[in-house]
Amino acid sequence: MVGEFVPSPVDPVDAGGEFWRRYHEFRRVRQKETRPDEPVRDDADEEARMKRISPFQGDDRYEVSRDGEMLGLLHAYYTKPESPEYESNKHLYDADLFVRGANRRRGIGSSFLPVLIDLMERRNSTTVSFWVEEDAGHGFLKWVGAEVKLNEIESRLIFSEIDWPELERWVEQGARRSPQTRLEIIDGPVPEEEREAFSAQMSVMLNTVPMEALDHGDIVVTPDTMRDHYERFDLSHEVPHTVLTREADGTISGITEVNWAPYRPAFIEQQFTGVRPDARGRGLGKWIKAAMLLHIRDLYPATEWIGTGNAGSNAPMLKINRALGFKQHRTGTAYQITRARSSRGR
């Protein structure tokens, strides 16, 4: 059965119109199955994002198509030597694999496995990670022999259910408990002159996020990686917003980020929220998250909800989110398997 399907490499940079036609149809089918209540990014924006070559991340893509219809797609990515994260992440490879529902159990998913192993060998990667939310994905990865390494809870906060006076109290309490700390709001990218200090503190905070049993390297944010990040946002006209706290000596002690995009005006994506370990216990997390929500309410009155994801073991952040009114919407799981182990079934 596997031999009937042969994955073909995809290079978005020189892909023709026929590829984009079947790809856009495929991703709409996937979106309808996995996230039916969320809008799809515009075709032109999606193509621009895929054609852009990142200086820090490499991408490998393979498809299985038949009779003009894309049946399955593998998108894998890896850390380039030019990345500041390369040394601690070079052994890692991340893969996203999806087969449309009507074509499962025909060997399409299995047909990608030899390709994946060859790609890992080519990239000198020893461990591959998969992110899964659907039952079919869980079943496939368990069959492959991958192991659960991290469980995440995705939560949503409905704006019509927010206790706004309570959030105003959180902001007042935060300012009162830390009178020497000031809160700042940045709409749009962090200014160039602030990125050196910002990226240094962001790196510190990101590396305190619980990763459970996941094999992972260091997270290193620099002004250059921030520029790359914002350039990707620009391709979809996404607007980042940042709320931070700054101590009396100028040190950034807390950060929360969200982003808004015109193709999904009804909801906001919560990005990172973190507080420096030496600044915890003063309610800074509650302060910055409450201030951000109040700001978003005024800036984007059409907002209906905001979504965020947290490791199941991240009790402090989950506690804050529950107090805000976030409710669990779905769960996701990170699986990993080594190249040596996956090669046994090739």
**Could you give the percent of the chain with pLDDT greater than 70?**
98
Checking if the pLDDT of 311 tops 60, the result is yes
Contact of 50 with 232, CB cutoff 8 Å: no
Contact of 79 with 85, CB cutoff 8 Å: yes
Taking the alpha carbons at both ends of the chain, their separation in whole angstroms is: 14
**For residue 341, what pLDDT is reported?**
72
pTM for the full predicted model: 0.93
pLDDT average, residue stretch 33-47: 95
Structure tokens at 231: 């350039």
Checking if the pLDDT of 2 tops 70, the result is no
Checking if the pLDDT of 98 tops 70, the result is yes
CA distance 319 to 283: 12
Checking if the pLDDT of 345 tops 50, the result is no
DSSP letter at 282 equals S
pLDDT digits (tens, 9 = 90+) for 54-65: 999 999 999 999
pLDDT average, residue stretch 246-273: 97
**For residue 343, what pLDDT is reported?**
59
| Cβ neighbours of 315 (radius 10 Å) | 11
**Could you give the percent of the chain with pLDDT greater than 90?**
95
| Cβ neighbours of 160 (radius 10 Å) | 6
pLDDT average, residue stretch 200-215: 96
Kindly state which CATH superfamily the domain 2-125 is placed in. Gcn5-related N-acetyltransferase (GNAT) (3.40.630.30)
Q: Where are the domains of the chain?
A: 2-125, 154-331
What CATH number was assigned to the domain covering residues 154-331? 3.40.630.30
Residue 240 host element (H or E): strand 239-246
CA distance 237 to 29: 24
**For residue 260, what pLDDT is reported?**
97
**For residue 102, what pLDDT is reported?**
86
Residues 6+ apart with CB under 8 A from 269: 258, 259, 260, 261, 306, 307
| Average predicted confidence (pLDDT) for the chain | 95
CA distance 72 to 91: 26
CA distance 247 to 251: 5
pLDDT average, residue stretch 79-97: 98
pLDDT average, residue stretch 323-346: 85
Checking if the pLDDT of 4 tops 90, the result is no
pLDDT average, residue stretch 42-71: 97
**For residue 213, what pLDDT is reported?**
97
pLDDT digits (tens, 9 = 90+) for 143-178: 999 999 999 999 999 999 999 999 999 999 999 999
CA distance 339 to 105: 23
Structure tokens at 68: 């003009």
Give the CA radius of gyration of the chain.
21
